[in-house]
Amino acid sequence: MAPVISTVRAGVLDVAYERHGDPAGRTVVLLHGFPYDTRCYDDVARILAKQGFDVIVPYLRGFGPTRFADAGTMRSGEQAALGHDLRELIAALDLDRPLVAGYDWGGRAACVVAAVWPESVSGLVSVSGYLVQDRAAAATTPAPPHLEKRYWYQYYLHSERGRAGLAAYRAEIAQTLWTDWSPTWRFGDSEFAATAPSFDNPDFVGVAVHSYRHRYGLVPGDAAYAETEQLLATQPRITVPTIVIDPTEDTVAALYGASDHSAHFTDLIDVRAVDAGHNPPQELPGQFADAVRTLAEN
């Protein structure tokens, strides 16, 4: 059965989202990464819905049916924009301090909200830990060569050739990244095909290119988020209750988080190593759902 998709005006976006479970239950917002979509949470949402949760799974800006409300809005992919999107969604749906959980771009949005507006959420599950970007360090400090080679897709998108490549080969690039980042995950053609249409969003390329250029200081951000970006530059600690999921098979995990998670989280409930690649909710949905359940019980 096809998922039921609703839409709500939230800030600069008409956000498409799926909702599962009991609307009167404890609310959790599950946030996907790049280049994935809401399908990564199908099993997690089913498990949590059966446990009585109110589960909301939105499509991020540039993905699936989510659209910008105004053609003149900058197609920013910066971290502050993702955080504002989540904050606006929480307000638009009148959610009462939901739990938030995510990985990659979605985990970054959740971390931004937890860091800047902790009163908006009651807890965080973050894959790979602290995902707030240190843009100053990224712009000036090279990684060791064995790590740099893993970030080819980021440097590719720094060029106009990369922009053209992503526009022409959206699904092919995404499938390559899925395979590279989760070498132990044997996803099937049908699983990938279920997600691939989300890359046909008209803003997918623009948002992605801006994201990977802005984080290295190569392009300016949206002035609407400048104040938030300035605050994020201070690397604020996250004070809400947090569970970190550390995937042991993620080949780009070194790009995210830190080995000493306690340096960034003042209320760290648990750090859970899992035998998964970059997409733990789809690779190990039971363990991801259990982290959410445990957080709810604290």
What would the DSSP string read from start to end of 191-213?
Answer: HHHHHGGGGGSTTHHHHHHHHHH
Nearest CA among 259, 244, 198 for reference residue 101? 244
| pLDDT of 151 strictly over 80 | yes
Q: Which of 23-37, 55-69, 98-112, 131-145 has the lowest mean pLDDT?
A: 131-145
Q: How does residue 146 score in pLDDT terms, banded at 50, 70 and 90?
A: confident
Full residue range of the structural domain in which residue 148 is found: 5-297
Placement of tokens 């409930």 in the chain: 269
According to the model, what pLDDT value does residue 258 have?
Answer: 56
CATH code assigned at 130 = 3.40.50.1820
According to the model, what pLDDT value does residue 55 have?
Answer: 98
| pLDDT of 5 strictly over 90 | yes
- Judged on CB neighbours under 10 Å (0-12, 13-18, 19+), 166 is buried
The reply to whether the predicted model has a pTM over 0.95 is: yes
Mean pLDDT score across all residues of the chain: 96
Reported as a single tens digit per residue, the pLDDT across 204-262 is 999 999 999 999 999 999 999 999 999 999 999 999 999 999 999 999 976 555 568 99
Q: How does residue 143 score in pLDDT terms, banded at 50, 70 and 90?
A: confident
| pLDDT of 288 strictly over 90 | yes
Secondary structure of residue 220 in the 3-state scheme = coil
Q: Round to whole Å and give the CA distance between 239 and 119.
A: 10
According to the model, what pLDDT value does residue 259 have?
Answer: 65
Average pLDDT estimate for 184-194: 97
According to the model, what pLDDT value does residue 256 have?
Answer: 59
Please say whether the beta carbons of 112 and 79 come within 8 A.
yes
Could you count the other beta carbons within 10 Å of the beta carbon of residue 8? 14
Q: Three-state secondary structure along 234-287?
A: CCCCECCCEEEEEECCCCCHHHCCCCCHHHCECCEEEEEEECCCCCHHHHCHHH
Please say whether the beta carbons of 153 and 281 come within 8 A.
no
Average pLDDT estimate for 151-180: 98
| pLDDT of 1 strictly over 80 | no
Q: Round to whole Å and give the CA distance between 94 and 43.
A: 25
According to the model, what pLDDT value does residue 101 have?
Answer: 99
- What single DSSP character describes residue 117? -
Domain count across the chain: 1
Reported as a single tens digit per residue, the pLDDT across 15-74 is 999 999 999 999 999 999 999 999 999 999 999 999 999 999 999 999 999 999 999 999
